[in-house]
Structure 1
Amino acid sequence: MTTDTNRRSWWRRRSEIWTVVSVLLLGQFVSFILALLNFTSSLSANQGANSPVTLGLFGYLALTLVNGSILLYQRHELLVIPWYWYALLAFFDVQGNYLFNSAYYFTSITSVALLDCWTVAWVILLTWIFLGTRYSLWQFLGAAICCVGLALVFLSDAGVGGGGGSNPLLGDTLVIGATIFYALSNVGQEYCIKKNSLTELLSMLGLFGILFSAIEIAAFERKNLEEVTWSAELILTFVGYTVSFLMFYSLTPIILQTSGATLFNLSLLTADMWAVIIRIFVYHQKVDWLYYVSFSVVGVGLCIYSKTEKDRNLSPKPENRIPSTQYQLVHEEGVENPDATP
């Protein structure tokens, strides 16, 4: 009897470890895709295409075509969540993408990446207020270690990519605004995906994203598009951004479903390190040893945060498990009031 109990305990612990590792690996893959998004967005800005909303429009179009086709094939009829919640999420997301992509025209890539970390702070605050998430001291410690690791990146990057830009103050302000909208969108998506299917969320997010993007292009970006000099390289940049956008938004809800918005945004802190790797292969730049130390420190912080979170959610209440036709909900991130609105 004792042997069977020990064996079950061993398999349960092994399953828990694999769950944590798989979530961390998936988070790093999404972080790498985010680095590609940032790289292609910055590349389009360097080529004179001042059209941040248009960049996002093609991404939302791809999101709608792929997931809308799946919904039509499944003969999905009624929305589980009211359409106006999806419209609100899409509005937040479009504004976040617009402000974030616009920042590249005014400030440096290093400043954008540094200030983008504010998303973590906003997400912790919003999940605590609206989703009832409670964080332990160990989770705060894990988040703090992640931020320390990221600080090492910018300590090394200060002499390479720090400063610059035509209007750094405006660019930094745009990034701060973008982090607020991103946090609102992430927390809203976490709420929706834990109550509904992934396909409906992505379809409606893409559909309303197209609507809001088209309105803003007509109002603010039409003149800029007329001044763009299109080339094969610029078109490829748009294609790369669209593919990265589709992959990023398709994988994001999976992490939000299994781990929540906070761990998701902590995982994205390594996007700047992946951007360094991209710069090595594209621009053949040398990498300072602090980058490797930074990556290791952030990895330790993520492990502390995710392991602590796992320990607090080993026995989720049955009523908190929402069935999904596509993905199994592994656990919930301390949601005490599932009926709360985002």
Structure 2
Amino acid sequence: MMNMKGIWTKQTLINLLLGQFLSLLITATGFLSSELARKGINAPTSQSFLNYVLLALFYGVLMIYRQEGIKAKWYFYVLLGIVDVEANFLVVKAYQYTSLTSVMLLDCWAIPCVLLFTWFFLKTKYRPRKLVGVAICIAGLVLVIFSDVHAADRSSGSNPIKGDIIVIAGATLYAVSNVSEEFFVKSADMVELMAFLGLFGAIVSGCQMYPNLLENTTL
């Protein structure tokens, strides 16, 4: 009983609820992205642009208000912005080729990648039961891909295999982005990270979506 009381603390319950709320938002985003792709709207970069702008505005104001120096090199944030934008681009792009279920499940490929990157770069140690959980996750991903290989007889997208590959590439970049964010939060500052991620993410996504906007305007 003492161990259970130690686990089910107020902070644990708050984190659990926040995690479930975050999962709900991610699912809603995935559903809307799938519906846009189904209706022929190809705007994977544009969907993330406003998010980066809001991050830059909100945390940028906080950063200016605090009047503190930059704790990390700015060009590291540029690289992080590029990786994060391309991760979002690839995952949203995948909805044009495969099903919503496949994208949501294969996006979990980021979990084993995060464990590998944190173990290699941040020297994080993991217990065997966590590794078993990751092994189960990978086995499930293999089953999803195998299912999509034989998905020609059902409605799952125009090219399920291509979509699965794109999702896996995007999830790998998500892992790189998440591990980098953990490093910057611990070594630099969260407000600084969010401000520069929003700034450079908005710049990169803006440059990337400009040709599409120009093409649509010309048409």
- Partner of 2:187, secondary structure, is coil
For the Cα contact (< 8 Å) 1:110–1:163, is it kept in 2? no
Structure 1 residues 13 and 198, CA gap change in structure 2 (3 angstroms): farther
Partner Cα distance (2:64, 2:6) in 1: 36
- Partner of 2:183, secondary structure, is helix
Gaps of 5+ in 1: 1-9, 229-342
Partner Cα distance (1:80, 1:48) in 2: 44
* Cα displacement (A) at 1:118: 1.0
- Partner of 1:80, secondary structure, is coil
Does residue 97 of the first structure (1) align with residue 88 of the second (2)? yes
Pairs within 5 Å for 1:244-263: none
Does residue 173 of the first structure (1) align with residue 138 of the second (2)? no
Listed one character per residue, the Cα deviations across residues 237-290 of structure 1 (whole Å, up to 9, x for unaligned) are xxxxxxxxxxxxxxxxxxxxxxxxxxxxxxxxxxxxxxxxxxxxxxxxxxxxxx
Listed one character per residue, the Cα deviations across residues 181-230 of structure 1 (whole Å, up to 9, x for unaligned) are 100000000111112332111110000001111221234x23564489xx
Structure 1 partner of 2:116:
125
* Cα displacement (A) at 1:152: 11
Partner Cα distance (1:173, 1:223) in 2: 29
Which of 14, 31, 53 aligns to 1:39? It is 31
Which of 34, 39, 53 aligns to 1:61? It is 53
Amino acid at match of 1:66: F
Q: Percent identical across equivalent pairs? A: 37
For the Cα contact (< 8 Å) 2:78–2:200, is it kept in 1? yes
Which consecutive segments of 4 or more residues in structure 1 shift more than 6 A?
146-154
Structure 1 partner of 2:193:
201
Partner Cα distance (1:15, 1:224) in 2: 58
User: TM-score normalised to the size of structure 1?
Assistant: 0.55
Q: Compute the RMSD of aligned alpha carbons.
A: 3.0
- Partner of 1:48, secondary structure, is coil
Structure 2 partner of 1:51:
43
Listed one character per residue, the Cα deviations across residues 60-109 of structure 1 (whole Å, up to 9, x for unaligned) are 11111111122222233x11111111111111100000001111111111
For the Cα contact (< 8 Å) 1:51–1:224, is it kept in 2? no
User: TM-score normalised to the size of structure 2?
Assistant: 0.83
- Partner of 1:117, secondary structure, is helix
Q: Greater helix percent: which structure?
A: 2
Gaps of 5+ in 2: none
For the Cα contact (< 8 Å) 2:31–2:100, is it kept in 1? no
For the Cα contact (< 8 Å) 1:81–1:196, is it kept in 2? yes
- Partner of 1:194, secondary structure, is helix
